[in-house]
A = this chain, B = another copy of it.
Amino acid sequence: MKNSYLAFAAAILAAPVIAQPADPVAAAADLALDEDRLAWDFVEGITTEVGPRQPGTEAEARGRAWAMDWLNAAGFANVANEPFMMDTWVRGEERAEVVAPFAQPLTITALGNSGATGARGLEAEVVYFPSYADLQAAPDGSLRGKIAFIGHEMRPTQDGSSYGFAGPARWTGPGLAASKGAVAAVIRSIGTESHRTPHTGGTTFAAGVTPIPAAALSNPDADNLERMFARAGDRPIRMKLTLTPRQLGRTESGNVVGEIVGRDPSLPPVLLACHLDSWDLGTGAVDDGAGCGIIAAAARNVASAGQPLRTIRVLFAGAEETGLWGSRAYSEAHLNEPFAVGIESDFGADRIWRLDTNFTDSNPQLYRRLAQSVVRFGVAPSREVATGGADLNVIRDQKGALVDLQQDGTRYFDLHHTPDDTLDKIDPAQLRQNVAVWTQVVGILANTEGNFLGQQ
């Protein structure tokens, strides 16, 4: 433990202002910890009545209609859909098998933006790269006619930082393999569990690089393929791969918004964000149905404690998964509208353990008030600088105030972008802790005047 952190935390938490029962926001947060049903109702409802909500598709549109009905029923004002256009990719058939020397099927799923093999598939020799760096080191042209297999492994981290370490194998690995001549690429799932549920997710091909078929193997299948390389000796490993995804061109998506109108609508609002779309394999429970349920429940709970000073706006962004289309569209449309602060929930439904802001040093009084208010929910102060979630482009583009309520991500990448992203993975008690912390923090922010960054 660093001494500098001990001193910081001691100073922040010294002589805490214990929330009094008379404080209606604190009382609402405490009640949420024990009894909140709104967040669960949202995520149970949307996973059951809509299910997967692939960006740009009819299923995502049904999700928007469902969410607007829910927001209206929950008493939000100014509920609206703000449509935008996007490039839409959809999955087709997907099959893989090793054909020699150890014939057996493998469980895969196509990555977003993957090219197609055609219905008959393609067969080629596999070249194994234990890590992304090994692929980077491969000479140009050395993969001509081959399938690249990137084995780069991911381990769980509480703060999700291992996603940054392992993620490039998916984000740019297939494009890199294509630039070196590969006819297809398969990667070990960017995920931390060991089930036959491969992790999809977007991949990008640089300008001038023709997209190749690209897929993720489940972790047990990646293990198996690695063992085959260990056992095959000089014998080449040949794989047959069939992927038939399609680019649908431009289709419509949309951002859903709703408001708790404040006592002074002339003040910049508090913006709470999540995304409503999901990958098609699961039902979008932890990514990110839970997040939309958390922010909507918190906004309602703050309202139930008395009309807030500022307006609270919820943004259920569309089409996050395939390129932050909704976040970019929202920023483009609302860049000139001032916001007080942005906060996002998009890292599952496990407990919040740390409070980050980008005004910890510049507005220590506000940071201290926030930090003290959530100690009772087990949330620690931090000097990390909040950068906001994927759907807060508008706040970043404005260089505005950001709060990150960091969730425990230890098991998030067990589920992320897999068929296993389903309601049963959400722990109701941890979900309620999220709502309680959000209620407390949003309640303070929505009732605080001034510029949160501490600027005059």
CB within 8 Å of B: which residues of A? 44-45, 47-52, 59, 62, 101-105, 107, 194-197, 219-220, 223-224, 227-228, 231, 282-283, 418-420, 422-425
Complex: chain B residue closest to A424, CB-CB = B194
Least CB distance, A110 to chain B, in whole angstroms: 16
Candidates B48, B50, B425; contact of A227 at CB < 8 Å: B48
The docked-state distance in angstroms from the alpha carbon of A235 to that of B116 is 40
The reply to whether B48 and A228 form a contact with Cβ atoms under 8 Å apart is yes
Assuming the A-B contacts A224-B423, A420-B195, are A231 and B104 also in contact, with contact meaning beta carbons closer than 8 angstroms in the complex? Answer: no
The reply to whether B196 and A419 form a contact with Cβ atoms under 8 Å apart is yes
Closest 9 CB pairs of A and B: A51-B104, A196-B419, A220-B422, A48-B227, A49-B102, A194-B424, A196-B420, A220-B424, A195-B420
Q: Which residues of B contact A418 (CB under 8 A)?
A: 196
The reply to whether B197 and A231 form a contact with Cβ atoms under 8 Å apart is no
Q: Which residues of B contact A420 (CB under 8 A)?
A: 195-196, 220
The docked-state distance in angstroms from the alpha carbon of A197 to that of B198 is 11
The docked-state distance in angstroms from the alpha carbon of A157 to that of B58 is 43
Least CB distance, A70 to chain B, in whole angstroms: 13
Q: Other than A62-B103, A107-B419, give 15 A-B pairs with Cβ distance below 8 A.
A: A45-B231, A48-B227, A49-B101, A51-B104, A51-B224, A52-B104, A59-B104, A194-B424, A195-B420, A196-B418, A196-B422, A219-B424, A220-B422, A223-B422, A223-B424
The docked-state distance in angstroms from the alpha carbon of A228 to that of B50 is 10
Q: Which residues of B contact A49 (CB under 8 A)?
A: 101-102, 228, 231
Q: Which residues of B contact A223 (CB under 8 A)?
A: 422-424
Complex: chain B residue closest to A281, CB-CB = B196
Q: List 22 A-B contacts (CB under 8 A).
A: A47-B224, A48-B102, A48-B224, A49-B101, A49-B102, A49-B228, A49-B231, A50-B102, A50-B104, A51-B103, A51-B104, A51-B105, A51-B224, A59-B104, A107-B419, A194-B422, A195-B197, A196-B418, A196-B422, A219-B424, A220-B423, A227-B423
User: How many identical subunits does the complex contain?
Assistant: 2
Complex: chain B residue closest to A285, CB-CB = B220
Q: Which residues of B contact A282 (CB under 8 A)?
A: 196
Q: Which residues of B contact A196 (CB under 8 A)?
A: 197, 282, 418-420, 422
The docked-state distance in angstroms from the alpha carbon of A317 to that of B107 is 27
Least CB distance, A218 to chain B, in whole angstroms: 8
The reply to whether B224 and A283 form a contact with Cβ atoms under 8 Å apart is yes
Least CB distance, A288 to chain B, in whole angstroms: 17
Least CB distance, A441 to chain B, in whole angstroms: 31
Assuming the A-B contacts A196-B197, A223-B424, A423-B224, are A283 and B52 also in contact, with contact meaning beta carbons closer than 8 angstroms in the complex? Answer: no
Assuming the A-B contacts A195-B420, A220-B424, A422-B220, are A102 and B227 also in contact, with contact meaning beta carbons closer than 8 angstroms in the complex? Answer: no
Q: Which residues of B contact A231 (CB under 8 A)?
A: 45, 48-49
Residue from A50, A219, A220 with most neighbouring chain B CB atoms (10 Å): A220
Q: Which residues of B contact A419 (CB under 8 A)?
A: 107, 196
Q: Which residues of B contact A424 (CB under 8 A)?
A: 194, 219-220, 223
Assuming the A-B contacts A51-B102, A220-B424, A424-B220, are A227 and B44 also in contact, with contact meaning beta carbons closer than 8 angstroms in the complex? Answer: yes
Q: Which residues of B contact A283 (CB under 8 A)?
A: 104, 224
The docked-state distance in angstroms from the alpha carbon of A47 to that of B105 is 11
Least CB distance, A158 to chain B, in whole angstroms: 23
Complex: chain B residue closest to A196, CB-CB = B419
The reply to whether B422 and A224 form a contact with Cβ atoms under 8 Å apart is yes
The docked-state distance in angstroms from the alpha carbon of A107 to that of B420 is 10
The docked-state distance in angstroms from the alpha carbon of A219 to that of B282 is 13
Q: Which residues of B contact A101 (CB under 8 A)?
A: 49
The docked-state distance in angstroms from the alpha carbon of A48 to that of B227 is 7
Q: Which residues of B contact A103 (CB under 8 A)?
A: 51, 59, 62
